[in-house]
Amino acid sequence: MSMRPGQKTNLVIGGLVVLFLGLAASFAFSPNPAPVRQDPALTRVVAPAPQVATLRMTAPQLAAGGGDASILDCYACHDEKKSPTVKMGADGAIVFPKEHADLRLMMANCSTCHVGKKLEVEYAKNGDVVMPKAHEDLLKMGHGRNNRNTNCFNCHSQTKLNELVTRDGTRLTFAQAPLLCASCHGPTYRDWELGVHGRTNGYWDTSQGKAVRQDCNACHDPHGPAIPQIIPFPGPKPVLTHGLGSAGAAEHGAAEVGTPKSEGAQPKPETK
Amino acid sequence: MSRRSFLRGSTAAAAGVAAMAAGLAPLRKLGEAISVDQFLQQHYKELSPADMDKVLRRIENEVERQYGVRPHVRDYKPMNGVEYVYALNVTRCVGCRKCVHACVAENNQSRDPEIQYIRVLKMPNGTFDVEKGDVNYAPESVPEKGFFYMPVQCHQCKNPPCTKVCPVKATWTEPDGITVIDYNWCIGCRYCEAACPYFARRFNFSEPTIPKEKLNPEMSYLGNQPRHKGVMEKCHFCIQRTRVGRYPACLEVCPTGSRKFGNILDPSSEVAHILREKRVFVLKEEVGTLPRFFYYFDV
């Protein structure tokens, strides 16, 4: 069959149009349209409002009773109209009043001093927050191996610094801080919830006693979470020259290294 | 009898008696080191509850006489439906040796000569040759860059070579998985020390010394009662703590939470979760000891 090229093209396009219209019609008028899959709504963690009953307690009372004092700022106890005077030392750092020495939590609680105002934060060229002179001894920023998380407001609320905000806008109290950590460190949080990450103390058999778990901030300073270097306890005395781990004994000043394997000839080969 | 032969004979006899007395002299000190009751005591498994009670009182008296502290010695029995498993996170361990010294304090190990149950091996990142590990490291601070740390202690094997070689059955595995030693029954032949591929057993070459103020008075018969010269000892998962539901001392002090302990027969325990979900390995798997001590990694 001989056809002109244009005619052939028209035929193919016409066929495709008919096919599409047919499919559209069958889709529109099909008796049982497939239901659209609805993902279940993600549950949000809702931070409970601070209870009035606890607010009536003074912060030391609350802390003594094991309560969460982080939701309180100075005005939980002080009259808001007669604000307490804040003393500054010669170095410009806040001198913490003696009567509040037990309130260590408030040391890092910015809203103790910055009330209700939006903070102006200065940034360095590389994007890091420039730490104000007055706070150099309070905080040491170092979150992340490459200091990628140095902006205060990645975690703190911009207007209420004693409140935490996750990336999706969920507001959390300081007591709920693990949920904030979880918003970035998911696998670690999962391990922590199951008891695999972090310390568990007390009783393995919970029918006989309590297992004590620590939350993130017990071990990690949130502003510099890497565990600091620690001084190790002394090693074996005298230096171990036998068995597992004695490979580097010569470097540690061992008198005899490579002593014969027949330990019977050695009066006190291992522990002395 | 001639005078000559009499003198010769009596001199020889006197010398013989003197030599024998000198030879037996060390036995007079035996009374201080070991009492008759202790000497005649039966094997742990053959002691009736009444016998055991007497033994525990005797140990309490002896410790009080030696250290001036009245201890609380008990014979803790394994719990039903419990098998202990230890898991250690190699990723998190920083090599601070706090576990080593907490263990010494808890379990009344000799301070001089020094006996430690735990060896913390330092190995370069990217290697895994425990025979080339270093326990004697002494830097100013840990962890050192480029190294990782791996504590090794008794692995409480399911197929323990140490108990098989004991000629007097002074060491055996309890139903809850802890390999124990009857310090009273041990003859000090050190076969078990040679059999252990993990170098976990320690021998008291001389009489152990513990300062009075450092003695832990909470004692168990198979665990941390003071040992004597010439017996073996080793990690027993702090029997006096774990058999009353508590965590072992090494776990309690670990600052990084690298140490995990629990009942593997309980599927909701931390260790059960680790063995299910984490990347787990055992040391010297090829020797077929089936340890109850596991190492794992994060991620």
Least confident of A39-43, A58-62, A138-142: A58-62
| Alpha-carbon dihedral sign for residues A166, A73, A215, A130 | positive
Which residue type sits at B125?
A: N
Are A196 and B137 an interchain contact pair (Cβ–Cβ within 8 Å)?
no
pLDDT by residue (tens digit) across A147-161?
A: 677 777 888 887 777
- Listed by start position, the domains of chain B span 97-238
Nearest to A230 among B82, B142, B261 (CB): B142
Phi, psi (degrees; rounded to nearest 5) at B122: -105, 125
CB atoms under 10 Å from CB of A205, counted, come to 20
In the predicted model, is pLDDT for residue B16 greater than 70? yes
> What does pLDDT average to over chain B?
92
- Contact call for A230 and B299, based on CB within 8 A: no
Percent of chain A whose predicted confidence (pLDDT) is above 90: 12
Residues 13-72 of A with CB under 8 A from B: none
Query: Is a pLDDT exceeding 60 seen at residue A60?
Result: no
User: Which chain B positions have a beta carbon within 8 Å of A244's beta carbon?
Assistant: 119, 121, 130-131, 133, 135, 152, 198-199
Q: What is the pLDDT of residues B133-158, one digit of tens each?
A: 899 999 999 899 999 999 999 999 99
pLDDT at residue A104 above 50?
A: no
> Which residue of B120, B198, B257 is in closest CB contact with A199?
B257
> Parallel, antiparallel, or unpaired: how do β-strands B202-203 and A164-165 relate?
unpaired
pLDDT in tens, B144-201: 999 999 999 999 999 999 999 999 999 999 999 999 999 999 999 999 999 999 999 9
Separation in Å, CA of A196 to nearest CA in chain B: 6
Maximum average pLDDT range among A26-35, A87-96, B118-127: B118-127
Task: Select from A214, A249, A272 the Cβ nearest to the Cβ of B205.
Answer: A272
- Amino acid letter for position B184: N
Tell me, letter by letter, the H, E, C secondary structure of B279-294. Answer: EEECCCHHHCCCCCEE
* ∠ Cα B71 B243 B73 (to 5°): 15
Residue A249 — very low, low, confident or very high, per pLDDT cuts 50/70/90? Answer: confident
Q: Which residues pair with A221 in a beta bridge?
A: A224
| Residue B279: strand pairing partners | B297
Residue with tokens 């629990």: B262
Closest partner CB to A201 (pick from B119, B242, B247): B247
A37-60 burial string, b = 16+ CB within 10 Å, else e?
Answer: eeeeeeeeeebeeeeeebeebebe
Q: Is B285 exposed, middle or buried (0-12, 13-18, 19+ CB in 10 A)?
A: exposed
> What is the DSSP code string of B22-36?
HHHHHHHHHHHHS-H
Interface test with B, best of A145, A189, A190, A196 (most B CBs within 10 A): A196
ipTM: 0.82
Percent of chain B with pLDDT over 70: 97
Q: Averaging pLDDT over each range in A112-126, A180-194, A239-253, B19-33, which range is the top one?
A: A180-194
User: Which tokens in the block code for residue A206?
Assistant: 């919970």
Hey, is the C-beta of A200 within 8 angstroms of any chain B C-beta?
A: yes
pTM for the full model? Answer: 0.71
Suggest the residue from B86, B92, B101, B135 to mutate for an interface test with chain A (most A CBs closer than 10 A). Answer: B135
CATH number assigned to the domain with residue range B97-238, chosen from the 4 options 3.30.70.20, 1.20.1050.140, 3.40.718.10, 3.30.420.40: 3.30.70.20
Residue A23: the pLDDT is 93
Task: Write the CB contacts of B249 (distance below 8 Å, at least 6 apart in sequence).
Answer: B99, B102, B103, B105, B106, B107, B238, B241
